[in-house]
Structure 1
Amino acid sequence: MIDELELAFDESDKGRHRRSAQRKRNKKKRGGRGKTVFALLMVFALLGGLGGAGWYGFDRIQGYFMTPDYDGGGSGEVVIEVKEGDLIADVANTLVAAGVVKSAKAFIEAAEENSRSQGIQPGFYKVRKQMSGETALGLLLDLKNKITNRITIPEGSTAKRIYKLLSEKTDIPIAEFEAAAKDPLALGVPDWWFKRTDNKKVTPSIEGFLFPDTYEIPPKVTAEAMLKEMVQHFLTVTGDMKFADRVQAEREISPYEALIVASLAQAEAGNKDDLGKVARVAYNRVYGEFACNCLEMDVTVNYWLELTGQETKTSGEMTNSDLINSKSPYDRKLRGLIPTPINNPGKEAMQGAMDPPPGKWLFFVAIDKEGHSAFADNIEEHERNKEKARKAGVIP
């Protein structure tokens, strides 16, 4: 009996709670309608009571209920940039700043209603001023409006070669790139990169820091801005690799010395499979049990020829004065590492210099037409490998 009374009491109490909650909801609904009615009355009052001036008030009140947006397709032309990693809100803010859309919200709302908006690509676009958010979105999704001016810098290109390629693509004189490159620190290369553990003096050079890749060339770019972008890309790639930390800890040399070795591997290896092995040969010759502790690589001769405005040569074309030139800072017989990198190596070449495979190799020679090399610990084994290369028609 007590249980039944308690149950009845509970049900009654629940009913009162439900009715009370319902009254509160109804009150909220009536309150919401009241606010809307009040706002509309305010609009009518402004329109009727203030005449022409009422339109100004209406526009102000309308802004609380509607997204500010332009009508139509706009006019004129303006170039905007969508940067790598930009979110829709970032693009919206860029458009507002350029006078393309009236509000960031107008573009964001248009993007939310179009699933393709996630496919907006980084780059430069031609758009118009004072466009609706929806129309602006449509132009960014149409690749016909994307300004495409790309250049690919091959791995192992020297700085002089890069200036020529950039000049051909941008119509900026080579001299402007050369002038900008005279101060690598101003282009963003940290000064700690130009330190060595072998106590050799370093004269800062841009060689090695212009990372080879495909670049989008901005409209009206300057020589300095283009080189700065390449340097920044180099720093990003080497930072992600932890290149500087690892070569100091594992190779016990400076990052600059490892970069020099990476450039040697990039120039000498005929196949990507051999990049690390060639780097190991360079380390073994300079720091190991090699009679002169010199590099004895023809690629350093060619770099000096290019630097001094001379034609580069194949190994067979090089004279004794080319091969042994004590006046050249890149002489084959120079003890230790050469003064600078001899080109701008790619990521795999730097990986090879950072983490070369173990081996006592001191010599190598290409033995097939795909560029693969045979490596040897001693001169006798090297001569046998050279014979294989002759039979394969790789060397004369």
Structure 2
Amino acid sequence: MTEYGRGPGSEPWHPEDPLYGDGGWEGQQGHAGHQPAYGGQPQHQYPQEPQQEQYGDWNDGRPQPYDQQQYQQSYDQEQYAGQGQQQYVPPNQQAYHEGAWDGTGTHAHVPYAADPGDPYGQQAAAYGAEQPDFYGTPDAYPPPEPPARRRAEPEPEAEQPRPDWDPGPDQGEHAFFAGGGTDDEDDEPEGRGDRRGRGGKGAKGSKGKKGRNGCACLVVLLVFGGGLGGVAYFGYQFYQDRFGTAPDYAGDGNGDEVTVVIPKGAGGYVIGQKLKEAGVVQSVDAFVSAQQSNPEGKTIQDGVYTLQKQMSAASAVELMLSDKSRSNLIIAEGTRNTAVYTLIDKRLGVSAGTTAAVAKKDYKSLGLPAWALGRPNLKDPLEGFLYPSSYPVAKGQKPEAVLRGMVSRANDKYEELGLRKTAESLGLDGPWELLTVASLVQAEGTSHDDFRKMAEVVYNRLKPGNPQTNGMIEFDSTYNYVKNQSKIDLTLSELRKYDNPYNTYYYKGLPPGPIDNPGEEALKGALDPTSDGWYYFISLDGKTSKFTKTLAQHEELVKEFNASRNKD
């Protein structure tokens, strides 16, 4: 038997079945009182294998007869006329087109009534209207059940082309967001639903598909929703970073003072980061924006600043540009190391002598250049290398860190000015002697013009055969250095009796090393001296110096100076 010919089980055909034996089309016509369906109008017939018992009888128990030959001719004329196409007949139905088996070795025509679901189809055909094709597509196969056993079906949607092969109960394609197997069952014809039911997998498979599809939908929605949330978050962050207003405090601070050290060469972002870390400003971007908006914002220098926490960026910039916030350690030109050490101790809040002890013990590890090491008879190896400038020194720092920063600044300046390149052209033994000359110029001079002339005085006196001093420098500042004092009233007898390498009244030539920390102007004066023949100088008012070329001229100026002092 074919798939659609029988129900489950092995029960034989019942003799009372209207399709059994010779009870075919002719036999059915013999039933008294039975009229053809739809008023005897010719109907399209679809060849079908014998129905199962469950189909039962229609109406009064008698099958509805119609002429199969008439159906075949009408069907061929309407569906294939002029198309040159061949009707597709499933292999298991071929025998029923030729004639159903009657159990006696002959074939009998198998009658089926028209589709009861369209009771008006034949009436429309009777009036010449074009009839819908119920049997030209696979959707019409197998034929509908009798009305008594037919289940109510939803209104059919527009038919979609179906493949001309049977994919099987579990091979059909589902839309990704379909509701599961239930919808698939509704879309298939009843015959196929019965077939799947017979396999025992229809309900279970559909439920499984629905569960899997539901989980898949949930996973996709979660992933898709999470992706959208991530895109929205990062998009907002990108907008805030590029176009949003930077976070900023309001006002001039909360009254809580804090010290901030700004390193040398720091730009806006570095300064802003230091201020943010100290709690002064709320964001780096706010500070940079305020700095760029201020006409003098780019002139913020390195150093120590006393500010308040939670200041607006604009107020922080304004305060840093004023002298009120700066608390740097200022080293003046010509300051000796002993005075520098005292200043550092006070700024760091350490006991007196702490920095001097570190300098004496660790001077070799503080960054001195090679040409400054190994010098004999030095009072302080770091003299001349604590370069005059502004330094960010605050409590909490170590003395060695402060000293190392000063030495580094000196090395940079000396390299910038070219001490090593110029020393030989001036008749000096390397940059060390040039630095020593600059320290003498710094101690005796008062202005840039003084520095150049003062440098010439030193170079002229250093000449061994000069007729004025015979190689003696005779600067009072060298004696005062070794005595750690700054006196003016010194007698020649006192000066010439004191035996010390730094005393230029006692020893010829330069002292062992620098006697102070010269500034840039004194260094430039030592690098570029005048050439006017100066040998002597004197300051009459303590502010300006007068220079002479001979000892006689110098003695006249000394008398003038003494006379002015006696009047006072």
Q: TM-score range by the shorter chain?
A: 0.5 to 0.7
> Equivalent residues in 2 for 1:226-241 (5 A)?
226-241=402-417
Query: Is 1:315 aligned to 2:493, yes or no?
Result: no
1:194-233 C-alpha deviation (Å, 9 max, x unpaired):
488xxx7778711111122343434523222222222222
Q: How far apart are 1:289 and its partner, in Å?
A: 2.3
TM-score by length of 1: 0.67
Q: 1:354 aligns with which of 527, 534, 555?
A: 527
Q: How many correspondences in the alignment?
A: 334
The match for 1:340 is 513
Are residues 174 and 77 of structure 1, via their aligned partners in 2, closer, same or farther at CA, if it must alter by over 3 Å? closer
- 1: CA distance between counterparts of 2:431 and 2:259? 40
The match for 1:247 is 423
Are residues 277 and 354 of structure 1, via their aligned partners in 2, closer, same or farther at CA, if it must alter by over 3 Å? same
The match for 2:351 is 173
Query: Is 1:275 aligned to 2:451, yes or no?
Result: yes
Q: Secondary structure at the match of 2:365?
A: coil
Are residues 152 and 388 of structure 1, via their aligned partners in 2, closer, same or farther at CA, if it must alter by over 3 Å? same
Percent identity for Structure 1 against Structure 2:
26
The match for 2:552 is 380
The match for 1:8 is none
* Contact 2:347–2:395 (CA under 8 A) maintained in structure 1: no
Task: Point out the structure with max Rg over C-alpha.
Answer: 2
Q: Secondary structure at the match of 1:67?
A: helix
Q: 2:266 aligns with which of 86, 99, 122?
A: 86
The match for 1:20 is none
Structure that is richer in helix per residue = 1
Letter in 2 for 1:383: E
The match for 2:338 is 160
Query: Is 1:330 aligned to 2:330, yes or no?
Result: no
Letter in 1 for 2:533: K
- 2: CA distance between counterparts of 1:92 and 1:271? 39
- 1: CA distance between counterparts of 2:567 and 2:369? 42
- 2: CA distance between counterparts of 1:113 and 1:321? 59
> Equivalent residues in 2 for 1:1-396 (5 A)?
59-60=233-234, 62-67=236-241, 73=249, 81-91=261-271, 106-107=285-286, 111=289, 115-116=293-294, 119=297, 121-122=300-301, 123=303, 124=305, 126=307, 137-138=313-314, 140-143=316-319, 147-182=325-360, 183-194=362-373, 205-290=381-466, 292-306=470-484, 313-316=487-490, 318=491, 320-326=493-499, 328-331=500-503, 332-368=505-541, 370-377=543-550, 379-393=551-565
Are residues 206 and 59 of structure 1, via their aligned partners in 2, closer, same or farther at CA, if it must alter by over 3 Å? same
- 1: CA distance between counterparts of 2:535 and 2:225? 97
Q: Which moved more, 1:137-146 or 1:225-234?
A: 137-146
Q: How far apart are 1:294 and its partner, in Å?
A: 2.5
Q: Secondary structure at the match of 1:209?
A: coil
- 2: CA distance between counterparts of 1:77 and 1:172? 21
Q: Secondary structure at the match of 2:548?
A: strand
The match for 1:21 is none
Letter in 1 for 2:544: G
Are residues 384 and 178 of structure 1, via their aligned partners in 2, closer, same or farther at CA, if it must alter by over 3 Å? same
Q: How far apart are 1:158 and its partner, in Å?
A: 1.1
Q: Secondary structure at the match of 2:368?
A: coil
1:240-280 C-alpha deviation (Å, 9 max, x unpaired):
32233222334443111111111112222355432222222
Give 5+ residue unaligned stretches, structure 2.
1-220
* Contact 1:148–1:216 (CA under 8 A) maintained in structure 2: no
TM-score by length of 2: 0.49
Q: Secondary structure at the match of 1:294?
A: coil
Q: How far apart are 1:181 and its partner, in Å?
A: 1.8
Q: Which structure has more RCO (C-alpha within 8 Å, separation ≥ 6)?
A: 1
Q: How far apart are 1:79 and its partner, in Å?
A: 6.0
Letter in 1 for 2:511: I
- 2: CA distance between counterparts of 1:280 and 1:305? 26
Q: Secondary structure at the match of 2:538?
A: strand
Are residues 117 and 90 of structure 1, via their aligned partners in 2, closer, same or farther at CA, if it must alter by over 3 Å? farther
* Contact 1:194–1:202 (CA under 8 A) maintained in structure 2: no
Letter in 2 for 1:171: G
Are residues 224 and 139 of structure 1, via their aligned partners in 2, closer, same or farther at CA, if it must alter by over 3 Å? farther
Q: Which moved more, 1:297-306 or 1:363-372?
A: 363-372
Please tell me the root mean square deviation across aligned C-alpha atoms, in Å. Answer: 4.3
The match for 2:98 is none
Q: Which moved more, 1:167-176 or 1:119-128?
A: 119-128
Are residues 258 and 343 of structure 1, via their aligned partners in 2, closer, same or farther at CA, if it must alter by over 3 Å? same
Q: Which moved more, 1:330-339 or 1:185-194?
A: 185-194
1:81-120 C-alpha deviation (Å, 9 max, x unpaired):
544443334445556777988986x548x71896238716
* Contact 2:363–2:382 (CA under 8 A) maintained in structure 1: yes
Are residues 325 and 125 of structure 1, via their aligned partners in 2, closer, same or farther at CA, if it must alter by over 3 Å? closer
- 2: CA distance between counterparts of 1:339 and 1:287? 17
Q: Which moved more, 1:162-171 or 1:143-152?
A: 143-152
Q: Secondary structure at the match of 2:391?
A: strand
- 2: CA distance between counterparts of 1:278 and 1:114? 45
- 2: CA distance between counterparts of 1:242 and 1:56? 59
1:49-99 C-alpha deviation (Å, 9 max, x unpaired):
57xx99777535533443299867499997655444433344455567779
The match for 2:86 is none
Letter in 2 for 1:266: Q
- 2: CA distance between counterparts of 1:152 and 1:77? 21
- 1: CA distance between counterparts of 2:320 and 2:525? 41
